[in-house]
Amino acid sequence: MTEKEEEARLDMIETENLTRKFGDLTAVDNLTLRVDEGEVFGFLGPNGAGKTTTVRMLCCLISKTSGSARVGEFDVGKEEDALKIRRIVGFVPDNVGLYDSLTAYENLDYYGTLYRRTDSQRKESNEYFLKMLGLWEKRDTMAGTFSKGMKQKLAIARALVHDPEVIFMDEPTANLDPEASKGVREFILELKREKKTIFLNTHNLDEAERVCDRIGIMNTKLMAVGTPEELERSVRGRRTEIQLRQVTDAILDSLKKLKLRNLVREGNKLTVDVVNPEEENPDMVSAIVGAGGRVESVTVAGSTLEDAYLKLVRDAP
């Protein structure tokens, strides 16, 4: 990205020490983050990490306890800005929440009405999305008869009928089979190509890695934020796997003298966390050979997003 493009990008979502408490329970603790315009931001965390509460606060569905937040140019928590924020955001909740006894077309049309779209705007957007989703032929079918995947896609379309600036999605592929998940992910990628700002709550690491520009790992507090690659590198560095013909006590004693990080033995394979494999691997191989060992292979593996996620979530206080 050029410097000019970088300057042109604006923070679409900004929070500063955003906190929400339910009685004695702190659901979201001093959350500070920024999401750029046109960015797909993944919000990863286990159940109860405060992801849904964060989205609900940003959509002005529930109030904040303290801190500040902004969506677009409007302040979250200001009574007069709440409706303005809801006009510029689209929200896909974790449950699709469609009206089963309304048709696909009627579901979209009703929401277009709620967003104060004109008749012609609604007609145009309903047709556009239903065709885009491959549901045009089923536009007069009751939504209650749709498969989970079709319902989820319709729920996403419902959040887009007013052409929002920001789309909040809460676990959009939860409970979907792999094929339906793929369909929804492709739809999100299509929105990404259209430069929509997307805030994606998920605990699907693979999905986050494939779809998101940046990821925040949340467990009540924001544990880390960065691109998927940055997170993989920052948390655990890399890992060296050494396959030996046979692991002996002498080899292990010799390696222990090198003060290695997280040396793990699995049969005749040794795994070690490394920061700089180019310097550390030759020392390990020398130590093994010096102790009479025979090295069959040496592999350097990067940490995965899953490693990073689990490390951060498990190490959380």
Partner 1 sequence: MSTWMPWKIAQKEMKVLRRKKSVISYIIALPLILSVLFSLVVQNDIVSSSGLSPDYQLGLDSLTYFFVVFAAILPASIAAYSIVGEKIEKSLEPLLSTPTTDGEILLGKSIAAFLPPMLAIWAGASIYMAATDYLTYGLLSHLYFPNLTSGVMLFLLAPLAGIFSVELAVIVSSRVSDVRGANQAGGLLFIPFMAVFLSAVEGTIPFDAETLLIFSGIVLVADVALFFVSTSTFRREEILTKWK
> Tokens 């306890």 appear where?
65
Min. distance of Cβ 77 from partner 1 in angstroms? 12
Verify binding: residue 81, partner 1, rule CB under 8 A.
no
Query: Residue 77 or 293: which CB sits closer to partner 1?
Result: 77
H or E element: which one contains 160?
none
Query: Residue 99 or 128: which CB sits closer to partner 1?
Result: 99
Verify binding: residue 129, partner 1, rule CB under 8 A.
no
Give the one residue of 22, 73, 189, 315 binding partner 1; rule: CB under 8 A: 22
Query: Residue 52 or 240: which CB sits closer to partner 1?
Result: 52
Task: Return the range that interacts with partner 1 (CB under 8 A); candidates 89-97, 250-258, 287-295, 307-315.
Answer: 89-97
Verify binding: residue 185, partner 1, rule CB under 8 A.
no
Site string for partner 1, 236-275 (x = CB under 8 A): ----------------------------------------
At 110, the amino acid letter reads Y
Verify binding: residue 106, partner 1, rule CB under 8 A.
yes
Per-position DSSP letters for 36-59, written without gaps between them: ETT-EEEEE--TTSSHHHHHHHHT
Verify binding: residue 113, partner 1, rule CB under 8 A.
yes
Query: Residue 91 or 309: which CB sits closer to partner 1?
Result: 91
CB-based contact 288:254 (threshold 8 Å): yes
Query: Residue 43 or 115: which CB sits closer to partner 1?
Result: 115
Min. distance of Cβ 283 from partner 1 in angstroms? 57
Query: Residue 52 or 204: which CB sits closer to partner 1?
Result: 52
**What SS3 class is residue 258?**
coil
Sign of the Cα pseudo-torsion (108, 110, 115, 118, in order): positive
Verify binding: residue 118, partner 1, rule CB under 8 A.
no
Verify binding: residue 48, partner 1, rule CB under 8 A.
no
> Tokens 């749709």 appear where?
146
Task: Return the range that interacts with partner 1 (CB under 8 A); candidates 98-106, 128-136, 184-192, 206-214.
Answer: 98-106
**Order of strands, sheet of 40-44, starting from the edge strand that comes earlier in the sequence:** 89-92, 166-170, 197-202, 40-44, 214-219, 221-226
Verify binding: residue 95, partner 1, rule CB under 8 A.
yes
Contact residues for 93 (Cβ-Cβ < 8 A; gap 6+): 155, 170
| Footprint (CB under 8 A) of partner 1, residues 138-167 | 155, 158-159
**Measured CA distances, 93 to 155, 202, 251 (Å):** 8, 12, 55
Per-position DSSP letters for 183-241, written without gaps between them: HHHHHHHHHHHTT-EEEEEE--HHHHHHH-SEEEEEESEEEEEE-HHHHHHHHH-EEEE
Give the one residue of 68, 110, 128, 252 binding partner 1; rule: CB under 8 A: 110
What does the longest C-alpha to C-alpha distance in the chain come to? 81
